[in-house]
């Protein structure tokens, strides 16, 4: 199956779903990453070698197809909604995406929210155009340091209902891919620390009876 992960920034793919991406590729699926904002200028510890960091992380995960947009970081709400949607649609069409995974719309990071709503609109591409493929799965992913900070109590917060076992191997690959991004990892107890990733994977695994897991929320599924 063709899985398209649509993320706001470089490193979001590893942060939220690195173990799952690695597992999907090992199982023979095709995985592509679409990155909405390739220049994360608002990050205080921005790596001067971000593109090289990203390439190394993708190699670690096994991803061969990456789409890049250059929408402004933490200013994605200033971009016309149609521009965002059309970029995502172009990725869907080029990759013949059958499964789409993106940020949860209640994340505290505004770029994640805007990306999520644009992906929701782009998912209707299958209804608007005559194509040889169709949407079989649409899910939200859990992005540490953003998803757990869903402070708006009136919004629908992340409620996982699919758990992917990644095991020791998947967890190690995820952490290694994140470490490829200079300046991303932090000391514990920051959510982007090795202990925190181990703890979250263990917790999601305990929830589902699995050996380390990543959690997702299924929005749409058709067999």
Q: Indicate if the pLDDT at residue 45 is higher than 60.
A: no
Distance, in Å, from the CA atom of 174 to the CA atom of 45, rounded to the nearest integer, reads: 20
Distance, in Å, from the CA atom of 141 to the CA atom of 103, rounded to the nearest integer, reads: 5
Q: Indicate if the pLDDT at residue 43 is higher than 60.
A: no
Burial tier of 45 (Cβ tally within 10 Å: 0-12, 13-18, 19+): exposed
pTM above 0.85, yes or no: yes
Distance, in Å, from the CA atom of 95 to the CA atom of 153, rounded to the nearest integer, reads: 36
User: Each residue of 183-192: pLDDT tens digit?
Assistant: 899 999 999 9
The mean pLDDT value for 43-59 works out to 81
Q: Indicate if the pLDDT at residue 44 is higher than 70.
A: no
* Total number of domains in the chain: 1
Q: Indicate if the pLDDT at residue 7 is higher than 60.
A: yes
Give the pLDDT band of residue 40 (cuts 50, 70, 90): low
Q: What is the pLDDT of residue 76?
A: 94
Give the domain range for residue 90: 2-221
Give the pLDDT band of residue 41 (cuts 50, 70, 90): low
Contact by Cβ (8 Å): 160, 20: no
> Which CATH number does the domain housing residue 98 bear?
3.40.50.10320
Q: What is the pLDDT of residue 46?
A: 57
Contact by Cβ (8 Å): 142, 1: no
């Amino acid at each position: 199956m063709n899985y398209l992960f649509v993320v706001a920034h470089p490193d979001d793919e590893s942060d939220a779903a690195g173990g799952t991406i690695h597992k999907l590729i090992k199982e023979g699926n095709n995985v592509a990453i679409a990155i909405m904002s390739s220049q994360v200028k608002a990050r205080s510890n921005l790596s001067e070698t971000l593109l090289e960091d990203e390439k190394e992380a993708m190699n670690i995960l096994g991803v061969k197809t990456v789409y890049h947009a250059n929408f402004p970081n933490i200013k994605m709400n200033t971009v016309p909604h149609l521009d965002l949607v059309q970029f995502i649609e172009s990725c869907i069409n080029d990759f013949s995406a059958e499964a789409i995974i993106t940020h949860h719309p209640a994340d505290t990071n505004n770029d994640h929210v805007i990306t999520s709503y644009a992906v929701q609109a782009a998912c209707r591409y299958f209804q608007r155009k005559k194509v040889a493929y169709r949407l079989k799965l649409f899910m939200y992913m859990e992005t540490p340091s953003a998803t757990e900070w869903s402070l708006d109590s009136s919004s629908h917060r992340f409620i996982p209902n699919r758990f992917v076992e990644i095991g020791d191997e998947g967890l190690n690959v995820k952490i290694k891919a994140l470490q490829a991004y200079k300046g991303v990892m932090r000391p514990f107890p920051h959510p982007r620390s090795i202990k925190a990733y181990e703890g979250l994977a263990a917790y999601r695994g305990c929830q589902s009876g699995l050996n380390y897991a990543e959690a997702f929320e299924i929005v749409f599924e058709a067999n």
